[in-house]
Structure 1
Amino acid sequence: MNDLFDAAPAAGHVPLAAALRPGTLDEVIGQAGITAPGSILRRRIAAGALGSVILYGPPGVGKTSIARAVGTMLGKEFRQLHATRAGVAELRKLADEARIRPLLIFVDEVHRFSSTQADDLLSICENGTADFIGATTGNPYHVLTPALVSRSTILRLEPMTLQDMEEVVRRGLAHLAGQGVEVAMTADQVRMVAGRSGGDARRALTTLESLAVGHPGGAIEITEDMLEEAYAAAPVNHDRSGDQHYDLVSAFVKSMRGSDPDAALYWLARLVHAGEDPRYIARRIMIHASEDVGLADNTALQTAVAAATAVEKIGYPEAQIVLAHAALHVARAPKSNSACRGIGLALQAVASEPPAVVPKHLRDAHYKGAEALGHVGYRFPHDDPRGWVEQDYVPGLQPGRFYQSDAREAGTFEKRADAHWEQLSGQPVPARFRRG
């Protein structure tokens, strides 16, 4: 028996990913924080008081597998629903059944429930009629009703590590061997399947199954050509509207802010590989060119704006080079947060304090009668040889209330500006950090 389909039961082929679903939490690969002894999930199972649980995380990390394992460990019948197909009548029927026998109701993509469905589910949860586990790829605090969130234990599942994924592939190979399908893979090939599956165990097992089926008798030796064929049209695991999107973008911009060019390029490559709109990436780089570099290197914003213009004209794949250029400029440039911090403090003051009166010498004087109203006394800085005169622009506003220099290095624009104004005015420039 060398064909995987021959090994399937007569009723139909069971996908490898389904055949390998764990029966208990001890058999779950990865997610140690959730499945480990002493975890909240283990304690609830031991107490026979599961209640309502929400599992959230990217596809293929074990949400359904964990739910099934919990049902087995509780000794309860497992009833699986899909939010887009389960109606209110079906939920009420399950509630009636749960009054007769212990049930664990599992709802996949629970974020797609309508408000009516959610209300019926809440009544089941509140009354303790049945235990409930919901699965979602979205952040429950964003995609579920507050009422359901408040009544549930929220457990986040992380993408599986490369080591976890290698163990998944090896377990798949062992299962196939047990079915009479001998698949020969090198350690490097196992790592390739694990790595290119994006932390999605289901994808890894589906790829392995695709490599193993339909061969004539004898051991199956996996070749590089077979692997390339399997991944020729492989989908990219990237949800542009969910947590993964925002987490990747957050990692990208924080790596630029943290001046780590390698990390910035890695997260940029993840976004590019996922097909993220290059215009969106360019906009993020523009923002951080001002927010994190700002006055330390004014050319960073010029580079970012030029990059945004360039990607509009050229698109992928060449746009990735332009984006890397701009991202590296932001990452490698000296940093100053003074512009972002300054406008934030000023907006806070404007929103929370009485408005300052415009001084008469700053008011519009370009009309007949302005002088009679007292709009006089403005001193034109360009009439002074220094290009600067000392006068009030906001009455009572103390220097450094909003702008504090972030100059740290002698070579930055902000540092040179500090030296210029300190020499000109004879007063130190307010600085966020004490300089020696």
Structure 2
Amino acid sequence: MDKPLAERIRPETLDDLIGQEHLVGENGVLRRAIRAGSIPSMILWGPPGVGKTTIANIIANSVKAPFFTLSAISSGVKEVREVIQRAKFQSNTILFIDEIHRFNKSQQDALLGAVEKGDITLIGATTENPSFEVNSALLSRSQVYTLKALSKDDLLRLIEQALKKDKILSQKEVVLKETGALFNISGGDARKLLNLLDLVVENLGGEKVEVTDEKVKEIAQQRVATYDKSGDMHYDVISAFIKSIRGSDPNAAVYYLARMIEGGEDIKFIARRLVILASEDIGNANPTALVIATNAFQAVSVIGYPEGRIILSQAVTYLASSPKSNAAYMAINQAQSVVRQTGDLPVPMAIRNAPTKLMKEEGYGKGYKYSHDYPGSFAAQEFLPDEIKGTAFYNPGKNAREEDMRKRLKAMWKEKYGY
């Protein structure tokens, strides 16, 4: 069976690589490093399919170094240590770890000593911000290089290169009538683009092939996987997942969770969305939801798959079964809208800080009522700027907990905010 097109024409030199001129162009930092033969440990950060793995291979080939590849999805501490042990008997060993953000702390820590001693040169690839996903100690010993999304011109050049250089495609007359569907379905991912092009040409058959948007869509719908972490289905499933939790359906929520797990979705991506949802859709209706979601994020970040799925299931079913309120979310939206419209309004003099004698003489802090000096630790006074006084940003939701909050606020602020 033939290799996928993306593998058949994978660039072997920087001159063949399309895109990332800021890194591999004539004065690019990676080109200079290769010329000097001095390759630092690095993290390549960028969207899927923009050249991270290709650059790692080119670096290894260019400096003629022993090259090992691990995937953070399927490898653990054992595999890392095996490579480190082998590297002790080979100089200038390069270890490439794809999706390094999926390594938990202990897995990343296993790399640290070897990187510090120079036993290996680490090249990690990630689609996630390394500031959040890579241990600070490992990050401080690595250079971070950001790869940019490929432009439409880059993608078109990539197709033209494939049609010219690939032994199979170059035997056919391929006419690109339209490219919109190729670009949209691949989502800027060079690997997906090339493999989709290969699939379309193969399915259309014949010595002359005309590629149109309609034909691409028809073939893609028949053959594209049902769950793709970077495609439309990814966004459809995460949307269904969030809406199921918001809609208080734990059964649907755990089903879509299973879809994402089985599709290989990043465990931290799922957990991060739960933390957001806990405030956006549950909020003060059940403040414990945020505690559960935050703890779940921390737990799965340490544990990873497969056991992390149990923690996610607990968090998801809890959040789906909780009372719902978007009052806190709506409050900050409204407050930000008012700030954008009114700008930096002056803070009332009574609640301004007065650290100096001059400020006190100017009236800063004059008339301020220290709440704890009053019954119930409450004293009615003006906190908002005069221009927007009386504006109620927070409107408690219609649930037991927030109704109690509403009653308390009404007792204190009825005349001002109308609770």
TM above 0.5, yes or no, is yes
83-92 or 122-131, which deviates more? 83-92
- Match for 1:358 among 369, 375, 379? 369
Give me the whole-angstrom Cα distance separating, in 2, the residues matched to 1:165 and 1:281: 42
1:292-303 correspondence runs (5 A): 292-293=337-338
What's 1:337 paired with?
Answer: 343
1:133 aligns with 2:129: no
CA separation of 1:104 and 1:183: change in aligned 2, threshold 3 A: farther
Give me the whole-angstrom Cα distance separating, in 2, the residues matched to 1:39 and 1:89: 36
1:161 Cα offset (Å): 0.8
Give me the whole-angstrom Cα distance separating, in 1, the residues matched to 2:170 and 2:154: 25
Give me the whole-angstrom Cα distance separating, in 1, the residues matched to 2:155 and 2:125: 21
- Match for 2:336 among 291, 315, 336? 291
1:42 aligns with 2:28: no
What's 2:99 paired with?
Answer: 109
- Match for 2:216 among 227, 230, 247? 227
1:8-47 correspondence runs (5 A): 12-47=1-36
What's 1:160 paired with?
Answer: 150
Gaps in structure 1 of 5+ consecutive residues: 1-11, 247-278, 295-333, 365-374, 379-392, 407-412, 414-436
1:15-414 correspondence runs (5 A): 15-101=4-90, 102-176=92-166, 180-186=170-176, 188-232=177-221, 235-236=231-232, 287-293=332-338, 335-338=341-344, 357-358=368-369, 403=385
AA in 1 matched with 2:59: V
3-state SS of the aligned residue for 1:213?
helix
AA in 2 matched with 1:226: K
Check whether the contact 2:352–2:365 (CA below 8 A) recurs between aligned residues.
no
The count of residues paired between Structure 1 and Structure 2 equals 287
1:226 Cα offset (Å): 1.3
CA separation of 1:165 and 1:342: change in aligned 2, threshold 3 A: farther
Give me the whole-angstrom Cα distance separating, in 2, the residues matched to 1:143 and 1:150: 13
Q: Which structure dedicates a bigger proportion of its chain to helix?
A: 2
Give me the whole-angstrom Cα distance separating, in 1, the residues matched to 2:144 and 2:156: 28
TM-score if structure 1 supplies the norm length?
Answer: 0.55
Check whether the contact 1:338–1:403 (CA below 8 A) recurs between aligned residues.
no
Which structure: larger Rg? 1
3-state SS of the aligned residue for 1:164?
helix
Give me the whole-angstrom Cα distance separating, in 1, the residues matched to 2:325 and 2:161: 40
Give me the whole-angstrom Cα distance separating, in 2, the residues matched to 1:109 and 1:348: 49
Give me the whole-angstrom Cα distance separating, in 2, the residues matched to 1:16 and 1:224: 20
Check whether the contact 2:11–2:54 (CA below 8 A) recurs between aligned residues.
yes
Check whether the contact 2:155–2:188 (CA below 8 A) recurs between aligned residues.
yes
Deviation per CA, 1:353-406: give whole Å up to 9, x if none.
Answer: 99975289x977xxxxxxxxxx9xx9xxxxxxxxxxxxxx67xx9xxxx74869
Give me the whole-angstrom Cα distance separating, in 2, the residues matched to 1:206 and 1:281: 43
3-state SS of the aligned residue for 1:199?
coil
Check whether the contact 1:54–1:133 (CA below 8 A) recurs between aligned residues.
yes
CA separation of 1:289 and 1:183: change in aligned 2, threshold 3 A: farther
Check whether the contact 2:179–2:213 (CA below 8 A) recurs between aligned residues.
no
AA in 2 matched with 1:146: S
1:227 Cα offset (Å): 1.7
CA separation of 1:363 and 1:32: change in aligned 2, threshold 3 A: same
CA separation of 1:154 and 1:211: change in aligned 2, threshold 3 A: same
3-state SS of the aligned residue for 2:186?
coil
3-state SS of the aligned residue for 2:342?
coil
CA separation of 1:151 and 1:41: change in aligned 2, threshold 3 A: same
Check whether the contact 1:183–1:212 (CA below 8 A) recurs between aligned residues.
no
1:47 Cα offset (Å): 2.6
1:60 Cα offset (Å): 0.9
> Identity of counterpart residues, as a percentage?
29
AA in 1 matched with 2:48: P
Check whether the contact 1:292–1:337 (CA below 8 A) recurs between aligned residues.
no
Give me the whole-angstrom Cα distance separating, in 1, the residues matched to 2:336 and 2:13: 49
1:348 Cα offset (Å): 9.2
Deviation per CA, 1:227-248: give whole Å up to 9, x if none.
Answer: 2213447632978776xx99xx
1:285 Cα offset (Å): 8.2
Give me the whole-angstrom Cα distance separating, in 2, the residues matched to 1:292 and 1:210: 48
CA separation of 1:118 and 1:156: change in aligned 2, threshold 3 A: same
Give me the whole-angstrom Cα distance separating, in 1, the residues matched to 2:130 and 2:150: 20
Gaps in structure 2 of 5+ consecutive residues: 225-230, 239-267, 274-323, 355-363, 392-419
What's 1:318 paired with?
Answer: none
Give me the whole-angstrom Cα distance separating, in 2, the residues matched to 1:211 and 1:158: 27
CA separation of 1:84 and 1:359: change in aligned 2, threshold 3 A: closer
AA in 2 matched with 1:236: D
CA separation of 1:90 and 1:164: change in aligned 2, threshold 3 A: same
